Structure 1
Amino acid sequence: MTFSSQSYSRITGEDEDAQEKAFTSQLTIRPVEVRRRRWWPWVLHGALIGLYTIVFLTWAVSLRRSRSFQFNKCASKQSMYSPAHEAVHYETVRFNGSLDFPSPYAGPPSPAIDAAWDRITTNNALWTIRLSDDDLERIHKAGRPSNVRYRPEDGGGNMGSIEVFHQLHCLNMLRKYTYPKEYPELQKLWTTRPKFIRSHLDHCVEMIRQNLMCASDIGVISYDWISGWDKPFPDFNTYHKCRNFNSILDWAERHRVHVPPTHIQRLGDKIDLPDAPN
């Protein structure tokens, strides 16, 4: 039997040092590579979370804009064109229809009650806003020489106002005439200009009637049995989908035209209507 001969050579000091360096370098590199590999899942997860956040925020903003668009679209369907459509925001409101509800607008006249009404009826004077010619076109009032226009030095445009404040003005007039002694100035007008006052009050009743019938609230009133009452008692504390009035009031305040009364002048000749619009 023969054996293959193997030769062995002694490792020199330099070769030993080189091998040791190579071995230690591998030991130091491998943990770094492991750490790098461990970081990648976290980086990937962070990127995905960031992406999901961006997608969610984009969706939320678009949803909010879509809802705002739908609300404005709903407002435009429920009323004629108005530059105040942008101020319309809907909310659910519970009416308090109890007979003894301490409303800030009801009860015997007082400085506080008058101040509350003055705020929403603009001190019995209709706030005016500026309407463009396009606005007049959209409310079917364009092309009339009789339209009241502001002077160019006052910004130009056409005079307008928002309906709800006129309706509240009318309601306030009727309220005051139920307290003749507390408002002697109105009683004086009733004495000196009875025909004018009578037509004014009838006008107010008619405007409120038309508005109520136009809105035709189809909310439902339920009835309860009340101790001491022989007949069913209506529960007027009902829920309604309302336009936020303060939002509309704020819009009117921001768009109010501050022009001195002396600047409201006829800008042309032969522009008067022969009689009040009918």
Structure 2
Amino acid sequence: MTPYLRLRSTSEADDSEKALLDSHGLGIQESLSFMSIYSRDALDMIFTWSPAAFIVAALCIFILSFLPGDLDQKCTARMFHWSPMIETFKYEWTSLDPSVQSVYTSPPSDEVEAAWDELWNYGAIGIDDDKVNLLNKSNEVQWVHLDSDKPRYGGKIGALYEGYHRLHCLSLLRQYTFKDSYDFSDRRFWYQAPDVLFEHVEHCIENIRSIIHCNADVTPYLIERDLHSDMHHMRLNLNKSAKCRNWDNIMRYGRENTLPVHFAGTAE
């Protein structure tokens, strides 16, 4: 049989507690009075310091909400439309110097065209119908939905990313300047009739102009003396630092999350 210890009776507990109080020279009334005073002091301290503790905690939360990594995401969400890609954005400070030559400024070649294609030539994405309002659009429009046999995109609204579209426009303008010296007939969009292609070029000019106006950069370019010229002419120092979205991440997202489309705009 499992042994159990007998609990003290109430009278035994009262006797032992009274003996403990007596040993400290306190009667029951004095002890109750002492405990009452102690409780009031504790409550006074709680009510005195609780508001201050609450303010300090709220201030800490407020400061933490503006830590750099989180602030970038908050600003992006506040300043731009919703996008499936928006949470993947990573920002970094970059030096921009247009005087530096790159493959993108070289004359057309297979290598150059491939480099440009890698920047922008990706497919469509699928947008859920309940996200349309986040783009300031309406479901009253007859949007094109992607084929339902694509598990990841099926039934969703087809869409393209604007950043890729702008780079396509810039690439098309670049190609158009070389149209008399390089054969682009096998390149995307060059199958169009000359007048349709020219309208496409005009559209791209307007697209780039409008976005430059919308995102007007007011960074001052400083004027410097060109010490390498005989006359020490003045020139703009176009080298600047800027906080940019990491385009490598954007290209990686395009490779992993888009669906190829036909030139006519229908999903493959």
TM-score (structure 2 length as normaliser): 0.65
Aligned to 2:242: 240
User: CA separation in 1, counterparts of 2:212 and 2:234?
Assistant: 25
Q: Give how far 1:95 is off.
A: 0.7
* 3-state DSSP of counterpart to 1:185: coil
Structure 2 unaligned spans of 5+:
1-59
User: CA separation in 2, counterparts of 1:186 and 1:262?
Assistant: 16
Output one character per residue of 1:67-113: Cα deviation in whole Å (capped at 9) or x when no partner.
44321111122222212111211111111122xx2212112112221
Aligned to 1:86: 87
Q: Give how far 1:245 is off.
A: 1.2
Q: 1:65 to 1:116 in 2, by over 3 A?
A: farther
Aligned to 2:258: 256
- The answer as to whether partners of 1:94 and 1:239 remain within 8 angstroms in 2 is yes
User: CA separation in 2, counterparts of 1:190 and 1:262?
Assistant: 13
User: CA separation in 1, counterparts of 2:246 and 2:127?
Assistant: 23
Q: 1:251 to 1:190 in 2, by over 3 A?
A: closer
Aligned to 1:151: 147
Aligned to 1:195: 195
Q: Cα RMSD between the aligned structures?
A: 3.2
User: CA separation in 2, counterparts of 1:233 and 1:223?
Assistant: 6
- The answer as to whether partners of 2:108 and 2:182 remain within 8 angstroms in 1 is yes
Output one character per residue of 1:151-183: Cα deviation in whole Å (capped at 9) or x when no partner.
333222111111000000000000011112213
5 Å-filtered alignment, 1:103-182, equals 103-122=102-121, 126-154=122-150, 155-180=154-179, 181-182=181-182
Q: 1:147 to 1:64 in 2, by over 3 A?
A: same
User: CA separation in 1, counterparts of 2:131 and 2:264?
Assistant: 25
Output one character per residue of 1:199-226: Cα deviation in whole Å (capped at 9) or x when no partner.
1100000000111111111222112111
| Counterpart AA for 2:194 | P
User: CA separation in 1, counterparts of 2:218 and 2:131?
Assistant: 31
- The answer as to whether partners of 1:150 and 1:159 remain within 8 angstroms in 2 is yes
User: How many residues matched?
Assistant: 199
Structure 1 unaligned spans of 5+:
1-58, 266-278
* 3-state DSSP of counterpart to 1:83: coil
